[in-house]
């Protein structure tokens, strides 16, 4: 690991009346075999000596057009962690924030996408962190969370690798249901045209029901699900498919925390509600919070607090 930058914060988060606590937030770079390239990472390490079995680890993921610095520069994460740990609201933990471009946290080298970032995060990065830092190496010592694209990524990685993570938190996650079989051969443009009509069904003047939450197709997928967008490939990797597989095989899923703003400009509350209903229908652990706010950092800087409390409960 090559450390490039070290930042110290001596102020506790303002909302906590507690002694000052200063963790360290450092830039790091390491080579990923899955990507055959360097992976840039920010790592928060708490102050003091680790417990005998190591600190728990949270992998914290950025959104579309973000990078490893997003939570540091826009999310106030260092100050938030310092304050919550100092107040005893959460236990000391290591937080790992990788930069993955617009990869959607899936393996996509086979379809000429951004690269095999799923393997890079769950394999290369995890192994490197556990070799170089005094952290726990068991499932109950790991959690994963993210916002927007990273919310999708956190859920995808948690459900595809349920043996690795005790809990997952999605903040304004880009969550959509599977494309129905009848629409699999539609072009991305055709899917975009029917996106709203597929969700809202006007039965009569007084009755509107909700239907399928179709993915928002466009260049924001950056080839992660094929070019052009391949609905079959999306369905294969989508969180609803993974949940269905676990239910069919009676396998455990990580405890899930979903939060989203009621004014989200991308209407991502639709997918959050649908996923929560799906998990609840099979008595899986799921918490849903719909708060006041849009798809903005001013919301995520606050909603991360309860997300951190949630994952801390499962360490």
Instruction: Quickly count helices (H) and strands (E) in the chain.
Output: 10, 11
> Sorting pLDDT into bands at 50, 70 and 90, what band is 297?
very high
Domain ranges, ordered by start, for the chain: 2-175+233-313
Report the Cα 240 to chain-centroid distance in Å.
15
Q: Residues 95-146: pLDDT tens digits? A: 999 999 999 999 999 999 999 999 999 999 999 999 999 999 999 999 999 9
pLDDT of residue 208: 76
Q: What is the C-alpha to C-alpha distance for residues 11 and 103, in angstroms, rounded to an integer?
A: 35
CA distance readout (Å), 82 to 19, 68, 274: 10, 19, 34
H or E segment to which residue 95 belongs: strand 94-98
Task: Quick: pLDDT tens for 35-85.
Answer: 999 999 999 999 999 999 999 999 999 999 999 999 999 999 999 999 999
Are 147 and 168 in contact, with CB atoms under 8 Å apart? no
pLDDT of residue 198: 85
> What CATH class does 2-175+233-313 carry?
alpha beta
Residue pair 172/258 in contact by the 8 Å Cβ criterion? no
Q: How far is CA 42 from CA 62, 142, 304, in A?
A: 11, 17, 17
Could you tell me which residues come within 8 angstroms of residue 35 by beta carbon, excluding any fewer than 6 positions away?
115, 116, 117, 120, 124
Closest CA to 212 of 170, 266, 270, 132: 270
Cα separation, 254 vs 259, whole angstroms? 16
């Amino acid at each position: 690991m090559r450390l490039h930058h070290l930042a110290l914060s001596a102020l506790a988060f303002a909302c906590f009346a507690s002694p000052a606590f200063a963790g360290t937030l450092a830039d790091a770079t390491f080579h990923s075999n899955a990507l055959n390239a360097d992976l840039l990472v920010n790592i928060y390490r708490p102050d003091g000596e680790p417990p005998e079995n190591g600190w728990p680890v949270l992998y914290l993921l950025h959104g579309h057009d973000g990078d490893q610095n997003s939570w540091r520069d826009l999310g106030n994460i260092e100050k938030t962690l310092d304050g919550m740990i100092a107040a005893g609201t959460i236990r000391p933990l290591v937080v790992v924030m990788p930069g993955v471009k617009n990869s959607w946290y899936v393996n996509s080298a086979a379809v000429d996408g951004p690269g095999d970032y799923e393997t890079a995060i769950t394999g290369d990065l995890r192994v490197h962190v556990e070799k170089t830092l005094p952290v726990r190496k068991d499932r109950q010592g790991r959690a994963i969370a993210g916002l927007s694209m990273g919310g999708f990524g956190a859920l995808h990685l948690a459900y595809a690798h349920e043996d690795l993570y005790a809990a997952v938190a999605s903040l304004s996650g880009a969550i959509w249901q599977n494309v129905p079989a009848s629409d699999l051969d539609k072009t991305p443009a055709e899917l975009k045209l029917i996106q709203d009509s597929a969700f809202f069904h006007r039965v009569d003047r007084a009755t509107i029901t909700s239907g399928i939450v179709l993915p928002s197709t466009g260049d924001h997928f950056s080839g992660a699900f094929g070019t052009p967008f391949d609905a079959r490939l999306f369905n294969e990797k989508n969180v609803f498919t993974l949940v269905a597989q676990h239910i069919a095989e009676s396998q455990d899923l990580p405890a899930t925390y979903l939060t989203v703003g009621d004014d989200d400009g991308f209407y991502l509350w639709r997918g959050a509600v649908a996923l929560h209903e799906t998990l609840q229908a099979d008595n899986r652990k799921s918490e849903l919070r719909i708060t006041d706010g849009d798809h903005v950092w001013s919301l995520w800087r606050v909603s991360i607090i309860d997300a951190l409390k949630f994952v801390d409960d499962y360490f």
